[in-house]
Structures are given as structure tokens and as C-alpha cells.
């Protein structure tokens, strides 16, 4: 079998890339290790930057997001002595969209299916061959049978634990990593959100986030120990702890109910350089991870897709390799800025076990500055709504 681009991974990066390539008349095959239902059962990001919703429009899949998503003009930041608002619209002219990653992925699967796009599910043992030549190929197994696809390019969209990054020789690859000494315990509940806007809260008991998916579906997170397991936390214990970390009036207004999903995610900052090796291009979590504070994970994956699909279009339509040659440099320039913002916002809002009284005062002084200084708010808002591509 032969195609133009083999895309490894059927998460949001891989699906968005294949749909955008399809719109531009470029053929691809997506290889996904899991089933469609499994991919759609993963509850992850909830806030989309304007760059991602513009890409969804370009890909022709923005209809449901435009009808059912919730544009947000600002966000609230709570601390021990109060709560303040960052007005994105007023400070930047832009807003963000609350629309779950699960819904983006579902819209992409539906669009690929309608267009007759090739997605191979439940593939095993994917291997990339000759990526440093002009004639790469990919092999995989399904039901014990080996398959081979010849192609012009391979897009590695297979997340942090995928094979694509590992295919780049260690003599070429450089990795930068920081792990954080805590995780996020998240729950989804069929209850009305406590606030019209997201609340990022810091307290002496640690970080908390009040987010949402729609008028009757709330997403809440609390900072937890890395050794905690979701089953250690009853719903009741979760709600009690969340309330302790929120301003009193917010805690009193919180409507609680049974959780319909509960999971723990560790926090990590990670970047792999370069993001290209020969005819293999890394995209999204395969190349970089951010701690979730500020919702940059999915959005940074989308900016990679933007650079890559434009580069491939330039190659196929104009026979010009400039875009693919500069892909890694362009994508990484934006990735590092998203890394900085996520690291800064995480460092500001969490309690760290090694923190001393001075460190805590520094966090407090930085929050006071953010609360009172328009330039600081503008910098935060520009990063939150998404830096331009």
C-alpha cells in the first residue's frame, strides 16, 4: 500500500492533521493503537485557543463547536484574601472557547468517516523505516498479520509514550524535562458549574480549578500527592477538599453530586529537539508536554499541526521544501513560549513541598502584582488566549 503521509496516532493532533491535509487534497493514512471508543473515553482538555478554533474552521469541522461551545471573555483567579478577574477580551481583543477535547476528537472522527478517510484502529508494533531517506515506509501488525505502507512523509502524532520520538537517534535528539512533585485529581460531574467563568485558585492547602464543559457538566481539579490513587478519594472527600481551597462564597455556592469520571494526571514539562528527523515530523505530545495549568497542551499540539500542514502543502503544491526544512525551528519557537507560560502559571498557583516562607511570600507578591498591574494582566491574557502562529 502507498499514501502521501502516514500519520501515527489518532488523537487530536493526528486527526486534525489528516483532515486539514484532506481539505488540501493530500492523502494520508492514520494508524491508531486503540479503538475509537477508547480514544473518546479519555477526558482531557477543555479550553480552546483562537488558533485552534480557526484551524477547526479551516478543516470544516467547526459547526458543532460554534453552536455548542461557550466563548469565555475572561477568567477568575482566587487566593487566600480574595478573587480577581483577568479580562481577556478587553486586554487582547480575543476570547477562548470552552469545548472539550473529547468533542473536538469526536467531530474529527465523524468528518474523517464522512470523507472516507483511512484510519486503521488497533494496530500493534508500529515501526518507522528509512525516515532519513526520501522513501520512508511504516510497518505494523493487526490480528497477527504484518502490513507495510510506503509514503513520502511520516507524522509522529502518537503522544508522549509513542514510537515516533524514539525513532530519532539519541545522537540527534535532545530532551529537556522537569517533573513536578504533585499531580492533579480531576472529576467530571453532572452538576451546574459554580461560576460562569473558570476559577484558578491557590490556597495553603494547594491548587484547585473550577472548570466546565456545559451548563450541566462541571470539571473540577485539585492538586494531590503523586502517590494518591483515584480510588483513595471518595466523591465526598474530593468535594470537601475542593471547598477548603476556594473562597467561602464560592464554596457555599458549589453544587456537588456523584462523579462520572475521576482520574489523576502527573505534571510534567518536556521538550524534544529537533521536531524533525529526515522525513519524520513530531507533532503534539509526541514532542512536548506542559503541566495543565493554563490549558496549553492541546492548543500547542494544534499550532504544530498548523505549521506542518502548511509545510506539506507548500511542498506538494509548489515543490518548495522551505516549510518542511523550517518546521522544527518554527514549531519549537512557539512551543518554548507555551512551556514558559505553563511553567510560570503552575509555579505561581501550586504549593511545593520544598517551599519555605520566603518562597510563599514571593508567590503572594507576584499574585498581588498580577492583580494590580495592567501590563502583567495583559501579558497573562495574551498567553492564555494564545500567542499568534
- Interaction site with ligand FAD (CB under 6 A): 8-14, 31-34, 39, 44-45, 101, 123, 126, 157-159, 162-163, 265, 284-285, 292, 295-298, 301
Length of the chain: 389
DSSP secondary structure string for all residues of 49-113: -HHHHHHHHHTT--HHHHHH-EEE-EEEEEETTEEEEEEHHHHHS--EEE--HHHHHHHHHHHHH
Tell me how far, at minimum, the Cβ of 276 lies from ligand DHB, in Å. Answer: 28
Tell me how far, at minimum, the Cβ of 368 lies from ligand FAD, in Å. Answer: 27
Out of 292, 306, 307, 350, the active site residue is 292
User: CA angle at residue 188 from 187 to 191, to 5 degrees?
Assistant: 125
Q: Is 47 in the site for ligand DHB (CB under 6 A)?
A: yes
Q: Which is nearer to ligand DHB, 42 or 361 (CB)?
A: 42
Out of ligand FAD, ligand DHB, none, what residue 157 binds, judged by CB under 5 to 8 A for its kind, is: ligand FAD
Of the candidates 382, 385, 381, 372, the residue with the CA atom closest to the CA atom of residue 86: 381
- Residue 370 near residue 77, CB atoms below 8 Å: yes
Out of 22, 72, 94, 350, the active site residue is 72
Which residues are bridge partners to 120 per DSSP? 31
Out of ligand FAD, ligand DHB, none, what residue 51 binds, judged by CB under 5 to 8 A for its kind, is: none
Out of ligand DHB, ligand FAD, none, what residue 39 binds, judged by CB under 5 to 8 A for its kind, is: ligand FAD
Out of 288, 296, 306, 350, the active site residue is 296
Rounded Cα–Cα distance for residues 32 and 10 (Å): 5
89 is catalytic: no
Tell me how far, at minimum, the Cβ of 381 lies from ligand DHB, in Å. Answer: 14
Neighbouring C-beta atoms of residue 116, cutoff 10 Å? 7
Q: Is 162 in the site for ligand DHB (CB under 6 A)?
A: no
Tell me how far, at minimum, the Cβ of 216 lies from ligand DHB, in Å. Answer: 15
296 is catalytic: yes
- Residue 6 near residue 148, CB atoms below 8 Å: no
- Grid cell, residue 11, equals 488523537
Out of ligand FAD, ligand DHB, none, what residue 224 binds, judged by CB under 5 to 8 A for its kind, is: none
147 is catalytic: no
Q: Are strands 174-189 and 217-224 parallel, antiparallel or unpaired?
A: antiparallel
Among 292, 305, 309, 346, binds ligand DHB (CB under 6 A): 292
Out of ligand DHB, ligand FAD, none, what residue 293 binds, judged by CB under 5 to 8 A for its kind, is: ligand DHB
Interface positions, 203-262, toward ligand DHB (CB under 6 A): 209, 211, 219
Neighbouring C-beta atoms of residue 229, cutoff 10 Å? 10
- Residue 45 near residue 98, CB atoms below 8 Å: no
Which residues are bridge partners to 276 per DSSP? 281
Q: Which residues bind ligand DHB (CB under 6 A)?
A: 45-47, 198, 209, 211, 219, 292-295
Active site (catalytic) residues: 72, 200, 292, 296, 384
Amino acid at each position: 500500500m502507498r499514501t502521501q503521509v502516514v500519520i501515527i496516532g489518532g488523537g487530536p493532533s493526528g486527526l486534525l492533521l489528516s483532515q486539514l491535509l484532506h481539505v488540501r487534497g493530500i492523502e494520508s493514512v492514520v494508524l491508531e493503537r486503540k479503538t475509537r471508543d477508547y480514544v473518546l473515553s479519555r477526558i482531557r482538555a477543555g479550553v480552546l485557543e483562537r488558533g485552534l478554533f480557526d484551524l477547526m474552521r479551516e478543516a470544516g469541522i467547526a459547526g458543532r463547536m460554534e453552536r455548542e461551545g461557550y466563548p469565555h471573555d475572561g477568567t477568575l483567579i482566587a487566593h487566600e484574601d480574595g478573587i480577581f478577574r483577568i479580562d481577556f477580551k478587553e486586554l487582547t481583543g480575543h476570547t477562548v472557547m470552552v469545548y472539550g477535547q473529547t468533542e473536538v476528537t469526536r467531530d474529527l472522527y465523524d468528518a474523517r468517516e464522512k470523507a472516507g478517510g483511512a484510519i486503521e484502529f488497533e494496530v500493534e508494533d508500529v515501526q518507522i523505516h528509512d525516515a532519513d531517506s526520501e522513501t520512508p515506509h511504516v510497518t505494523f501488525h493487526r490480528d497477527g498479520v504484518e502490513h507495510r505502507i510506503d509514503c513520502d512523509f511520516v507524522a509522529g502524532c502518537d503522544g508522549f509514550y509513542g514510537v515516533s520520538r524514539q525513532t530519532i537517534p539519541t545522537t540527534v535528539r535532545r530532551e529537556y524535562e522537569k517533573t513536578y512533585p504533585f499531580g492533579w485529581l480531576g472529576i467530571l460531574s453532572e452538576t451546574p458549574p459554580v461560576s460562569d467563568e473558570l476559577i484558578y485558585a491557590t490556597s495553603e492547602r494547594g491548587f484547585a480549578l473550577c472548570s466546565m464543559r456545559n451548563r450541566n457538566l462541571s470539571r473540577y481539579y485539585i492538586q494531590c500527592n503523586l502517590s494518591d490513587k483515584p480510588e483513595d478519594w471518595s466523591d465526598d472527600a474530593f468535594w470537601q477538599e475542593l471547598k477548603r481551597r476556594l473562597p467561602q462564597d464560592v464554596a457555599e455556592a458549589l453544587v456537588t453530586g456523584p462523579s462520572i469520571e475521576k482520574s489523576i494526571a502527573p505534571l510534567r514539562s518536556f521538550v524534544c529537539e529537533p521536531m524533525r528527523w529526515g522525513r519524520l515530523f513530531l507533532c503534539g505530545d509526541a514532542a512536548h508536554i506542559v503541566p495543565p495549568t493554563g490549558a496549553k497542551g492541546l492548543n500547542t499540539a494544534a499550532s504544530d499541526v498548523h505549521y506542518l500542514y502548511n509545510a506539506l502543502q507548500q511542498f506538494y503544491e509548489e515543490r518548495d521544501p522551505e516549510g518542511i526544512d523550517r518546521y522544527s525551528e518554527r514549531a519549537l519557537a512557539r512551543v518554548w513560549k507555551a512551556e514558559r507560560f505553563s511553567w510560570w502559571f503552575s509555579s505561581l498557583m501550586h504549593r511545593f513541598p520544598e517551599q519555605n516562607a520566603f518562597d510563599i511570600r514571593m508567590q503572594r507578591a507576584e499574585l498581588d502584582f498580577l492583580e494590580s498591574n495592567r501590563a502583567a494582566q495583559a501579558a497573562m491574557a495574551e498567553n492564555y488566549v494564545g500567542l499568534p502562529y
